[in-house]
Amino acid sequence: MSGMKIINAGWFIDGTGGPVRKNIRLHIQNKRIVSITDSGSGDTAEYGTTDFGSSTILPCLVDSHVHLCISGTDDPVAREKQLDADFDKIKGLISDHIKRQLSYGVLAVRDGGDRFAYALRYRNESLDINKIPICIRVAGRAWYRAGRYGGLIGRPLQENHSLAEAINNDPEEKDHIKIVNSGLNSLKEFGKETLPQFGAGDLSDVVKIAAKYGRRVMVHANGKKPVAVALEAGCDSIEHGFFMGAENLKIMAEKEIVWVPTACTMKAYSEHMKPGSREAEVSRMNLDHQLEQISKARELGVTVALGTDSGSMGVHHGAAVIEELKLLITAGYSLPEAIRCASCNGARLLGIKDVGVISKDMAATFIVAKGDPSKLPDSLRSLDFICFKGNFINCKDEI
Ligand SMILES: [Zn+2]
């Protein structure tokens, strides 16, 4: 058949969470996968065959929670500068971050907001999809209640306005709506919860307005009450969800609301705070508690999408995906299940059709990682190749 490309792989993970397959063969035509078969004997030496017999093919990854405007630096002065920099400076930083994401096999990211909507502006003005084939979904500026947490990633709701009204009148052409509905986690007092910023009624009106414009609603929420009201309102995803408790997890499973646990943020804090300090100890306890919740979520059948919160202190764009995958595995996920959180589940959450699973009739878009699956997720650090719609990008040369 003309124009057919054949690719052999030693190991294959398709993104659905099913078992790892050995020795498979992909047939690609017109940028799409036409079949996936076992690469048996007798069909060797075919014209146009590319052999990845000692590598693992897996789907391209999706990071469902990033902040493209901020790096993971732990230097407080540099962080402050980034938060106040103008767009011309931030443009270069965002380019660097998405190149890093791509070099780890991440082909889609969901941005959780920045105070000047620079990620939105970058996507609209600066992203050259032909050079860097990455899908950027942006929230623009998040919404929060004046006087509460949220100033780093958004703007406050003006007095005498309802949240739904403000969103309805907002001219920013964003992909999804980000609402901040709790505070940050305390690093001094383990398990300290904050009150919700908005009520279930406010949030339910937001969900309705968002649906009218075909947008989804992501809600930053830690603690039982802030999460409970967001679930009652029917939001699309809970971001972070530290200390939300088992009851909320059950509701998430029932209502099929996605959870993005961002556990690696607490791992990074535990490693960057002064050794032996209260902050280092509480971050570690927060992380352990979150891992217990993730384990419970797996048992209950909650859909978890991998998100790193890259841009948080010590959480680096691209590399953090490895950390978060490892934490999912520590919490009890098998490698294919963890990959599903970082591919199929993320792609669905972002509403992207051609990325997330490798199957017949899908675009031939996948990554090739050196070695067998036991080398994952660390092997994401030095990928062999990314195949984007049937064309190979050499990760070292072109990114
Ligand atoms: Zn965030």
pLDDT at 49 over 70: yes
Portion of the chain with pLDDT greater than 90, in percent? 88
Gap between the Cα atoms of 339 and 343, Å rounded: 6
d(CA 395, ligand 1 centre) in Å: 27
**CATH classification of 61-350, choosing from 3.20.20.140, 3.30.70.250, 3.10.150.10, 3.90.226.10?**
3.20.20.140
pLDDT in tens, 121-145: 999 998 887 778 899 999 999 999 9
pLDDT of residue 43: 54
d(CA 67, ligand 1 centre) in Å: 6
Gap between the Cα atoms of 56 and 62, Å rounded: 18
pLDDT at 42 over 50: no
Averaged pLDDT, 75-97: 94
Gap between the Cα atoms of 265 and 172, Å rounded: 29
CA angle 279/284/287 to nearest 5° reads: 125
d(CA 300, ligand 1 centre) in Å: 25
Gap between the Cα atoms of 342 and 346, Å rounded: 6
d(CA 341, ligand 1 centre) in Å: 18
Exposure string over 310-339, b if 16+ CB within 10 A, otherwise e: bbbbbbbbbbbbbbbbbbbbbbbbebbbbb
Q: Please state the domain extents for the chain.
A: 5-59+357-398, 61-350
d(CA 112, ligand 1 centre) in Å: 5
d(CA 212, ligand 1 centre) in Å: 25
d(CA 219, ligand 1 centre) in Å: 10
d(CA 308, ligand 1 centre) in Å: 8
d(CA 7, ligand 1 centre) in Å: 38
d(CA 24, ligand 1 centre) in Å: 38
Averaged pLDDT, 306-335: 98
Q: Which helix (H) or strand (E) holds 34?
A: strand 32-38
CA atoms 274, 277, 283, 288: torsion sign: positive
d(CA 153, ligand 1 centre) in Å: 8
- The domain covering 5-59+357-398 belongs, at the CATH homologous superfamily level, to Urease, subunit C, domain 1 (2.30.40.10)
d(CA 66, ligand 1 centre) in Å: 6
Preceding peptide of 133 cis, ω within 30°: no
CA angle 283/264/241 to nearest 5° reads: 75
Gap between the Cα atoms of 200 and 280, Å rounded: 34
d(CA 36, ligand 1 centre) in Å: 38
Cβ atoms of 265 and 170 within 8 Å: the answer is no
Nearest to 165 by CA among 119, 202, 112: 202
The amino acid at residue 73 is T
Of the pLDDT bands very low, low, confident and very high (cuts 50, 70, 90), residue 261 is: very high
d(CA 297, ligand 1 centre) in Å: 20
d(CA 262, ligand 1 centre) in Å: 8
Averaged pLDDT, 8-13: 96
> What pTM did the predictor assign?
0.96
Report CA Rg, the chain.
Answer: 21
> What are the structure tokens assigned to 85, written together?
């920099």
d(CA 182, ligand 1 centre) in Å: 12
Gap between the Cα atoms of 260 and 304, Å rounded: 6
d(CA 246, ligand 1 centre) in Å: 23
Gap between the Cα atoms of 382 and 178, Å rounded: 33
pLDDT of residue 2: 62
> What are the structure tokens assigned to 140, written together?
């623009």
d(CA 240, ligand 1 centre) in Å: 8
d(CA 278, ligand 1 centre) in Å: 23
pLDDT at 59 over 70: yes
Burial of 37 (0-12, 13-18, 19+ CB in 10 A): exposed
What mean pLDDT, rounded, does the chain reach? 94
d(CA 379, ligand 1 centre) in Å: 26
pLDDT at 399 over 60: no
Gap between the Cα atoms of 53 and 186, Å rounded: 48
d(CA 242, ligand 1 centre) in Å: 13
Put the strands of the sheet holding 366-370 in their side by side order. Answer: 32-38, 21-29, 5-12, 49-59, 366-370, 385-388, 391-394
Q: How far is CA 219 from CA 58, 277, 280, in A?
A: 30, 31, 27
d(CA 310, ligand 1 centre) in Å: 8
